[in-house]
Every structure is written in C-alpha cells, then in structure tokens.
C-alpha cells in the first residue's frame, strides 16, 4: 500500500472514529463532515487550489480541536500537547500533499506562494477565528446562541464567503 493510501486510510479511520462522539466537543461533527464534503466537491469540480486549501485548513483545525478535547476528556496531559498536536496534523496534511506532487508545483502559485498552502493558512485562521468568535458571542448572550445552528453557520458561512472571494480573485 503506497503512502497516500495509508494516509487516506488513517484520515478516514479517524473521521469514522469521531463520527460517534460520546459527548459534545468544542466543534460539532456536522461541521467537520461539511468541511470534508467541501474539499471533495471542490476538487471534483476542478475549483482552484486556493479554495480547496481553505477547506483543508478548516478541516485540519477541526481535527486538532477534536484531538485536544479528546486528550482532555481522557485526562492525557503532557508538555506541549497543543503545539505537538497542531504541528503533527499540519505535517500529516502538508507533507503527503507535497510528496504526491499536489503541492509545490512551480506554476501553481499565487503571490509567489503555493495556492494550496495559501488556502490552508487562510482557511485555518478564518475557521479558528469564526469558532472563537462564536464562543465570545455565546458568552455575551448568557451561554446561548443568537439563532439556531449559529455554531455551524458561522464557520461554514465564513468558509463559503472566503471560497467565493478566492474563486473570483483567482479567475
């Protein structure tokens, strides 16, 4: 089995494992499924790699949050736990993309940086910011959302808006 198939098997196994949460995590499984579907759909439709990268970055942040919450739930503590988890996930995502030739092609650049990498960075930051903003807004509203499904709408809505911006920017 080649490296890509092993990586894909690992990711799918991880997603299946977290599809059956025991209790609520900091980020909902519905959003992660939506992010995963967005990645697959954008590649299938041939949409620019910057847009695909947005969704990959968001999925990565979601997986990092799930893992850190799982470690907290299991009371697994070690020095640098959050940093190690974050670096590990980004390496698991970026290194196979680079070695399979999906990332790093000299003609696939925007502003001198690989399109997929730009998307991953912007998607990661935007997704995390929208999740943190949701938490701030919820706290201001006495622990309640302002509208139903706000926890899902804010991060996914942010990704959709950024996807449209990058789609038209890179045309």
- 3 state SS for the chain: CCHHHHHHHHHHHHHHHHCCCCCCCCCCHHHHHHHHHHHHHHHHHCCCHHHHHHHHHHHHHHHHHHHHHHHHHCCCCCCCHHHHHHHHHHHHHHHHHHHCCCCCCCCCEECCEEHHHHHHHHHHHHHHHHHHHHHHHHHHCCCCCCCCCHHHHHHHHHHHHHHHHHHHHCC
Per-residue model confidence as pLDDT tens digits over 34-85: 555 666 676 677 778 888 888 889 889 988 998 898 898 889 888 888 999 9
pLDDT of residue 30: 55
Which pTM was predicted? 0.72
pLDDT of residue 21: 47
Per-residue model confidence as pLDDT tens digits over 112-135: 888 888 999 999 999 999 999 988
pLDDT of residue 23: 47
């Amino acid at each position: 089995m080649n490296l890509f198939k092993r990586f894909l098997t690992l990711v799918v196994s991880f997603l299946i494992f977290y599809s059956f949460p025991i209790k609520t995590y900091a980020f909902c499984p519905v959003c992660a499924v939506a992010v995963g579907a967005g990645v697959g759909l954008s590649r299938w439709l041939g949409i620019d790699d910057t847009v695909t990268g947005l969704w990959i970055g968001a999925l990565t942040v979601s997986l990092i949050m799930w893992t850190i919450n799982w470690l907290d739930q299991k009371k697994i503590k070690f020095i640098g736990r959050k940093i190690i988890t974050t670096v590990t996930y980004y390496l698991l995502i970026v290194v196979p993309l680079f070695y399979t030739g999906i990332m790093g092609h000299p003609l696939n650049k925007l502003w001198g940086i690989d399109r997929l990498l730009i998307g991953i960075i912007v998607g990661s930051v935007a997704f995390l910011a929208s999740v943190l903003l949701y938490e701030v807004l919820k706290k201001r509203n006495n622990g309640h959302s302002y509208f139903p499904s706000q926890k899902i709408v804010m991060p996914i809505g942010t990704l959709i808006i950024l996807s449209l911006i990058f789609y038209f920017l890179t045309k």
